[in-house]
A and B are shown apart, each in its own frame.
Chain A
């Protein structure tokens, strides 16, 4: 079978299952008795195994199979979850992840059998089996299937999970179904109860069930099934389903029909005996005459088809699309298509802007209706833009979900007790940004765990709780998303950093003396600067924080550090929501128009020429107690134009970068506008102070100033 077209789905779903497994096993570690968790784990492992099997990844299948066996035993109550077991399970998850990664890169799972893990898993099965249920020990290593150890329940109704039997006896029937059965009796047909067991390894259970239904419909009529036909269709059943069936054939014929479907392990069939007295049959038969229409309407799918056994009731098993449960109403879309959509929206916004400027040029006055329509258009484009942007947004959950596991492992490795608390996992960011922030965040968490938190004994000595806390908080703040990594450890020892910087020759002792705490902390972001006393596997190799910083900056974000020596530190990442469309202030310099991102603008000041002072041959102004350097855009941008009128008041835009300020002198302000950032192509090497271009309403191009590069 050619499975390549399913590879994407397989990869996506495998990753989902693996993440789910990881989460659940974490949960299990905290809460070993929780049956829901165990069931969830079992289901996820089972699906994963099935998928791997279908795609022909044998090694992956084998490993998952053995994991599943362990869970199966836990679920059956044969033995309990133990810490050692959790470790092996985590290792197995890592191995599975490796398989998936290999598959993603090469479509092959690799050649690592992970025999040690399989052995470990089997020995869990074996040892616990010996201790708790003597008779299953011999079976475990040879045939690591779940059955041998599972309690073989003789009574079909008593045990829900393990036993096999004629479960159809549990089916409850309602009045309409009773009527149908009674009618069948009067027509001389027989009523059977059928219970079907699907093989454990079966991947497409719903499809098998469908085939069973199909086969049975040739022989008679299905009255009711448990679970319902809808649930069976949606694979909401484990390995078995039961139904009540009217037919003229014998029980054996029915049994054979069911078993003719492949991957069916077992089928039970026996005559169904109803408690109600057949005496009533004649009476109800009369009612039946006018009943069919009602029956159709009242009873959902399974029992719908009335009296025509010759014509198999196809409608009972046909998928009813509209009734599908809302499990996952999503569509996977290629990001390129979304980019395209975004471009079109940008075009629309540009067109709208040109309409505005065109009507403005036409002359103000009696075109109220045009203005109204433009306002309407404006609200539509704004909403459209927001919606398209939202489509591209994904919760950061996909990235941060792996962190609790990482902290758990770090805790063991470093021998420190610590807990990770996360909030705001549902905060959304542009897809392209989310894909990129995983590594920087991971690095910062590792830093907190390794350098931030003190060893447990030190913590106790300092009067702190023994278990260290790391917090990861994400939230939206205006047009930005803030992700903060915080710990309650020792904080950054500024003196240690200072000494280290001197020792390394990064700064001279004199320089170091005059540096502020913030400047010292900024040294940490320099390449190859690590203060960890010993290099550990976790961090301290001096690569990292500089990478973190450059990565965040490449996403137009920034990193900020807040340090409280002795109480911990927090690392705050601030990222823009989107990169494509920004609010900007349009200004005129000379006869050229420029856009300045609104986000970086602090205030706009009207400055008298005589208020400009010279400090160290640089122009500055003094505003509300702050000295702010002045940048004359006319000079910086080489604008060739007439002499400036030196007596005129200056319009100065105060922009900020971090906590630095600068005043940009412009000639005129146009106003605020939504601008679409366009790339200028690779044939032109733009200076750093230009971050891109945008198209104005009249079709002209205006450049966007990057004020960060100017300061």
Chain B
């Protein structure tokens, strides 16, 4: 069976730290960062990047469309 690894890129300056992506992620990849962006929001980031499967759940629920999702087959 093919296995996949995923990765996301967050536009951290435009993330509003709403936490919706964090709770939508089935693999607990995401967390809000201890640091804040220029607007003072704790932005989302991959705390456990190895766990990401590229399912795009985070990007689907993000109200500000700041998540880009990638998915690659493990060769």
Q: Do A and B come from one complex?
A: no
* Chain A residues with a Cβ under 8 A of chain B: none
Residue ranges of B at the interface with A (Cβ–Cβ < 8 Å): none
